Amino acid sequence: MKINIDEQNKILHQAIDEGVKLSDLLESKHYQYDNLQYSDGLDFNNEECPFEPIELMDNVPLYQDDIPAVSFFSGAGGLDIGFRHAGFHNIIGIEHTELFCNTLRLNNPNQLVIGPPFYDGDVSKREEIAALLRENGINENFNGVFHGGPPCQSFSIAANQRFNKDGEKFKRTGFEDAEKGTLIFDYIWYIQQFRPLAFLIENVAGIVECDPEGRIAQALNDLRALGYHIQEPKVLDATYYGVPQHRKRWIVMGTRGQRPIEYPAPQFRETPCGYVFMRPLNGVTNHVTRKHSAESVMRYSQLKMGARDHQGRVDRLDPYKPSKTVIAGGVKGGGRSHLHPFIPRTISVRECARLQTFPDNYEFAGTPARQFTQVGNAVPPMLAYKLALQIKEAILPDYHAH
């Protein structure tokens, strides 16, 4: 039940005037942050849901084709989830960050995760990782799929968006990033060595702008010389593939099978985010919300749908439109979440995960700040699922022929 807006303002002013924490004052009055509202009074929680339901990974069928797959740069598992639901068996995941490995093992206890603390997981150590793959049954002409999204911060506008694009601090180092800039070519090396039946490479849209010399195009031509049918890379906005969020990703897929892989057909309209916030949150994990100050809530509550609080650099989501991109943030801190469309607070990790289309039974390890990083870095599982279905449709005859 929402607090009357006049009473809400009295509570906010009381917290400011008396110098007390808003969280304590709300608790003393038997209220929670979710009882607060925006000044426009927009709230559908006690009415019939006005938003059309969207497709959820929680309800997507789990196909049982069991086509083997190896996941590179697995992160928190967004691609893995999509491929698993499409009928692939992710037998190995490779990930260099221990926290992400903890999340992968938490949700996939029977999957081999090549990463800390038991392995290094650094894909740039080519011979070391290749030996581990061979030890675990991955050999040349692998009758399965490689999928992966090399770390993209070097090419990302979002990773630098707090700076003006013309300013000195805006830096997209691209391939000049000694640590991450060339990992895409390490990944392509594994494709050349093991020649999987099919592969998928995912990255941010900005990767093309950082490649004026055409190094990626040349690498893809090298794969074509090995017999791969590769469609031209394409930038897809996830909101046209069932994801309630604007998120543009650069995708390339290839196969050495007889049938080329076609890109999934986009929807005719965007996927709005309103339905995400109408779903109940009873019993879900990773749903911890911030205890904002009265001053912050005072500012937030005046925002119109889709408007930005410039002081906090957060946006109130418009439930009738896709969410803005969920941001990962730096490697040592969490991503910057958006403001709930109906409650003047930032959204939780679980709410962000729903915007990314993670199923509710998928749990993220670590502190909330690091959970935001994992969610924001991920490929939306629903987008991954629709790409994986296209790959399966193309390769299934060749897979069974072997």
Model confidence pLDDT, tens digit, residues 45-59: 555 678 989 999 999
- Residue 343 three-state SS: coil
Res 168: pLDDT? 55
- Contact status, residue 104 vs residue 93, Cβ threshold 8 Å: yes
Model confidence pLDDT, tens digit, residues 112-171: 999 999 999 999 999 999 999 999 999 999 999 999 999 855 544 444 444 455 555 445
- Contact status, residue 39 vs residue 302, Cβ threshold 8 Å: yes
Res 159: pLDDT? 43
Where helices occur in 231-316 by DSSP H, the ranges are 294-300
Positive or negative torsion for Cα 102, 104, 108, 112:
negative
Res 106: pLDDT? 98
Model confidence pLDDT, tens digit, residues 192-214: 999 999 999 999 988 888 888 89
- CA 146 vs. chain centroid, Å, equals 19
- Contact status, residue 277 vs residue 342, Cβ threshold 8 Å: yes
Name the amino acid, one letter, at 373: T
- Ramachandran class of 339: left when φ > 0, alpha when ψ lies in -120 to 50, beta otherwise: beta
Res 37: pLDDT? 95
Res 84: pLDDT? 98
| CA–CA distance, 116 with 81 (Å, rounded to integer) | 21
Q: pTM here?
A: 0.92
**CA dist 192 → 195, 196, 227, 257, 395 (Å):** 5, 8, 10, 15, 18
Element (H, E) at 339: none
DSSP string, 156-188: -SGGGTTS-TTSTT----GGG-TTTTTHHHHHH
Res 42: pLDDT? 79
pLDDT digit of tens for each residue in the chain (402 aa)?
889 999 999 999 999 999 999 999 999 999 999 999 999 987 775 556 789 899 999 999 999 999 999 999 999 999 999 999 999 999 999 999 999 999 999 999 999 999 999 999 999 999 999 999 999 999 999 999 999 999 855 544 444 444 455 555 445 445 454 455 689 999 999 999 999 999 999 999 888 888 888 999 999 999 999 999 999 999 999 999 999 999 999 999 999 999 999 999 999 999 999 999 999 999 999 999 999 999 999 999 999 999 999 999 999 999 999 999 998 755 454 556 899 999 999 999 999 999 999 999 999 999 999 999 999 999 999 999 999 999 999 999 999 998
Structural domains of the chain in order of their starting residue, each with its CATH number: 58-269+378-401 (3.40.50.150)
